[in-house]
Structure 1
Amino acid sequence: MPEPLHPAVERVRELVESDPALRMYAIRMIEQVPTAKLYGWQHLYSLEKLLRLIHQVITLAPEFSEKSMVMTPLAGRLDWTMGTPAGFAFYRDPRVNEALKDVLNAWREYLDSPDSLYVLNDSAAGWNSEDAQRIVGMDQFVHDPSEEHWGFTSWNDFFSRHFKDGERPVAAPDEDRIITSVCESTP
C-alpha cells in the first residue's frame, strides 16, 4: 500500500478528479510529455505518478548536488508537463494555481521545520560536505561549525543565512543606476 499523499497534494488530486476539463488536461499533458528521452524513474506516465513526485518533493529538503543547483525540485517535476499544449491550459487555471500555492506553502512549512535539517550533514549530498562548503563559500556566512547543523534551525534558516560583517559589501549603495542582485542564482 503506497504512503498516503500529503493533504495539500491530495487536494490537487480532488480538484483534478472533480472537474472533467481539468482531468482531461491533466491526462493529455502527461500523454504529451516527450517520449524521445525518458526521465528515468521520474518519467511521467500517469496523474498518480505526477502526484507522487510532487508529494516526494514537499516531504524532502533539497540535497546538495553540483548538477542540480539550477532549478527548484518542484519545477523539475512540473517542467515536463508545463511545456505541453494541454499543460499550458492546465496550469493557467486559477484553481490549479491556488492548489499549487497550497502545495508550495506546505513545502515551506516543512522546510521551516527541524525535520528538514537532515541534509545539513557531511555526506556527498550534504550541505556540510567539503564540496558544498567550497561552492557555497560557507566561510563568508555566519554559522558555528562546532554546533550540530552549524546552529541552523531548519533548511530555510540555512538557505537564508546571513553574511559575516564585511563580506560582499553592496557596490555603490547610493547609486540609482546600479542594480544589485541579492540572490545567488542565474536570473
Structure 2
Amino acid sequence: MANIVPQPHHFRRIGGWLPQDPKTLLDWVKKLVTEVDHKKKHGFLSWPKEIQHLNNLIEGTSELRMLASAMFDEVPNKPPYDKDPTGNKQIRSYKHMLDVFAHIMENVTPKWTNNPQGQDLIGFPFNAILDWLMATPSGYAFFLKREVNASLKAILDKWKIDVLQTDKSLHVITTDDDGWLSKAALKKIEDDTNITGTKLTFAQLFECDPDKAHWGFRSWDDFFTRTFRNFDTIRPIAYPKDPKWIVSSCESKPWALQTDVKAYDSFWLKGQPYGVAEMMDHHEESSKFVGGTVYQAFLSATSYHRWHSPVTGKVVFSKVIDGTYFSEPTINGFTNPDGPDPAAPDKAQGYITHVATRAMYLIDTESPIGLVCGIYVGMADVSSCEILEKFQVKKGGKAVEVKKGEEIGMFHHGGSTHCLVFEKGLKLKWIKEAYPDVSKTNLAIRSELAYAEV
C-alpha cells in the first residue's frame, strides 16, 4: 500500500491552533508588538535568563548569528511575503524577536477569539511569530540546531511553569465572550467531542463545577488537560477482552497510513515517508518494525489531550526524546513552487515524527499483535510530553503491565500528533474511518481502530 495522505488543499490550520481568518491574527500580532515596543521604549521590558541565554547562544558563534539574521533577510521582499502571515511585517530582527518572546513567556496565555465568521484561536503565539522564518533556508538550518532547541525548550518550559500552569492564566478561563468557557467556545468543544451520537454539554462531558470560579479549573493547563466525566460511559473501551483488537490511542483525526516502512527514508521530501529507525531514536528494537505499518493521526486544539494504551500488554520501554520545536522541511518552505506552508508546521506532520520532541513507548502485547510502538509528538509551542510516572520504564528496567484503554501520558499546552507503529508481517484490517479523509470528525479515544488478522 502506498502512502495515504491528505492533499495540500485540505490544509489550512488543520488543528485549529491558529485562526482561519488572517485578519484575526494580524490584529493580535499588531497589538502584541505595540505592547512590546511600548514596554521597551519606557524601560519596562526585561529579558528572563532563558531569553538572555538564547541571545548569548546566537551571538556566541558567527554561524548562529548569521543564520538568525539571514532568516529575516531571506523572507522574499514581495507580496505576500514582504508581510508576515498575519499581513504585516512586524518582527524586525532576531533581537526584536527575543523581545517578543520575553513578553509572551511572562504575559501571554492562549486566547479564544470570536469573530463574525466563527471561532478563531491564538493557540500558538510563538509559532505565529516564526511562521515565515521557519520557511527560509537559514531558518531551516537554525531551528534544527540541537543547542538552539535546548534553549527553546528552557523558554517554553518556563512559560508553562510560570504562566500556563498557574492562576496567572485563569483570566482566559471565563464565560466572557473571549473566554474558554464562553458559549461559542463551549459549543465548539461540545461539537468536537460529541462524536459518538451523544448531545452532552461541556459540564456533562468533562470534570468541572460550573458553580465555582473558573468552573473549578486551577489554570489554563488544567483546563486543557481536562478529564472526561464518567469516562467508561462516554468513551468505552472497544473489545476490552479481545487481544486482536487495537483501539484509538488519542482523540484524533487520521492523517496517514503507510505499510512496508523502511528503516531510513527521505522524510524531509514530498510525501514525508516514514523511517522507523529515526522515529524511534535508533532504539535497538526498531529493526522489528522495518517493513511494518505506521498509522498517524493529529489532535486539534479543542481535543482531549491525554494518551491511552492502544493494546493490553507490558510497557517494556518509554522515553521522552528531546528534539526540535519549530522545524519544517524545506519542501514546505520557500523552495516549494506553490509557496510555503501558511501555518507551519501543519503540512509537516510526517516530518516532525522524526525530529520533534516526542514521547515513545514500546508495549509487548504477548499476543499475536506482538510489539507495538506508540509515539506522541509535540509540535511548535505544543511540545511538553509527559509520560505518567507508572509507565516510566528505562532500558533494562522492569516491565509494567498496561491495559487496553488505560491512560499512559498527556500533552501539556494542548496536543499535536501521534503514531502507532506495528511489526512487519502483522496483517491489520483497519476500520474504514481510519483512512485519511474518510472521517469528518475525530475518532473517539478507546474506540475500535484495527483488527489483527491472525
Q: Tell me, what secondary structure is at the counterpart of 2:112?
A: coil
Paired with 2:125 and 2:238, the residues of 1 have a C-alpha distance of 32
SS at match of 2:120: coil
| CA deviation after TM superposition for structure 1 residue 5, in Å | 2.1
Q: Which residue of 2 aligns with 1:24?
A: 66
- Could you say if the C-alpha distance between residues 180 and 156 of structure 1 is closer, same or farther in structure 2, counting changes exceeding 3 Å? same
* Pair 87,101 (structure 1): closer, same or farther in 2 beyond 3 Å: same
- Distance in 2, matches of 1:118 and 1:41, equals 28
- Structure 2 counterpart of 1:127, from 158, 168, 180: 180
Segment drifting more, 47-56 vs 33-42: 33-42
Say whether 1:115 aligns with 2:180: no
* Partners of 2:170 and 2:214 within 8 A in 1: yes
Q: Compare 99-108 and 132-141 and name the one that shifted more.
A: 132-141
Letter in 2 for 1:126: G
TM-score by length of 1: 0.87
**Counterpart residue number, 1:164:** 229
Correspondence for 2:50? 8
- Equivalences, count: 186
1:156 and 1:150 map into 2 onto residues whose CA distance is 14
1:179 aligns with 2:244: no
Question: What is the alpha-carbon distance in structure 2 between the residues aligned to residue 171 and residue 76 of structure 1?
Answer: 39
Residues 14 and 121 of structure 1: is their aligned pair in 2 closer, same or farther, counting only changes over 3 Å?
same
- CA drift of 1:40 comes to 4.4
Contact 2:173 2:214 in 1 (8 A): yes
The range that moved more, 142-151 or 35-44, is: 35-44
- Cα distance in 1 for residues equivalent to 2:239 and 2:177: 38
Deviation of the 1:74 alpha carbon: 2.0
Change (3 A) 1:177 1:169: closer
Deviation at 1:108, TM superposition (A): 1.3
TM-score of the pair, normalised by structure 2: 0.38
Q: 1:59-138 counterparts in 2 under 5 A?
A: 59=106, 60-65=108-113, 66-68=119-121, 72-109=124-161, 110-137=163-190, 138=202
- CA gap of 1:52–1:176, structure 2 versus 1, over 3 A, is farther
**Residue equivalent to 2:97:** 50
Most deviating of 33-42 and 5-14: 33-42
CA distance in 1 between partners of 2:100 and 2:87 (Å) = 13
Cα distance in structure 1, aligned partners of 2:171 and 2:184: 17
Give the distance between the partners of 2:144 and 2:154, measured in 1 at CA: 16
Instruction: Give the deviation of 1:50 after TM superposition.
Output: 1.3
- 1:181 maps to a residue whose letter is C
Cα distance in 2 for partners of 1:41, 1:121 equals 30
Query: Structure 2: which amino acid aligns with 1:135?
Result: K
The answer to which structure has the higher helix fraction is: 1
Deviations 1:12-32, CA, capped at 9 Å, x for gaps: 112112221101100000112
Contact 2:58 2:68 in 1 (8 A): yes
User: Could you tell me how far 1:149 is from its partner in structure 2?
Assistant: 0.9
User: Is the partner of 2:211 in helix, strand or coil?
Assistant: coil
Aligned pair in 2 of structure 1 residues 177, 123: CA closer, same or farther (>3 Å)? same
Look up the SS of the partner of 1:51 in the other structure: helix
Name the CA shift for 1:48/1:172 in 2 (closer, same or farther; >3 Å). farther
Aligned-pair distance for 1:159? Answer: 0.6
Q: CA deviation at 1:2?
A: 4.7
Q: Is the contact between residue 143 and residue 150 of structure 1 (CA under 8 Å) also seen in structure 2?
A: yes
Alpha-carbon distance, 1:169 to partner: 2.9
Check 1:76–1:170 CA distance in 2 against 1; reply closer, same or farther (3 A cut).
farther
One-letter amino acid of the counterpart of residue 132, structure 2? W
Matched to 1:122, the amino acid is T
State the Cα deviation string for residues 110-152 of structure 1 (Å, max 9, x = none).
2111111111122222111110111112231111111111111
Which residue in 2 is equivalent to 1:152? 217
Q: Secondary structure at the match of 1:67?
A: strand
**Contact 2:110–2:121 (Cα < 8 Å) also in 1:** no
* Identity percentage of aligned residues: 31
Give the match's secondary structure for 1:126. coil
Unaligned runs of 5+ in 2: 1-42, 114-118, 191-201, 253-298, 301-415, 418-454
The whole-number CA distance in structure 1 between the counterparts of 2:218 and 2:74 is 42
Moved over 6 A (4+): none
Pair 49,136 (structure 1): closer, same or farther in 2 beyond 3 Å: same
- The alignment's C-alpha RMSD in Å is 2.2
**Hey, what's the Cα distance between the residues in 2 that align with 1:40 and 1:50?**
17
Letter in 1 for 2:248: I
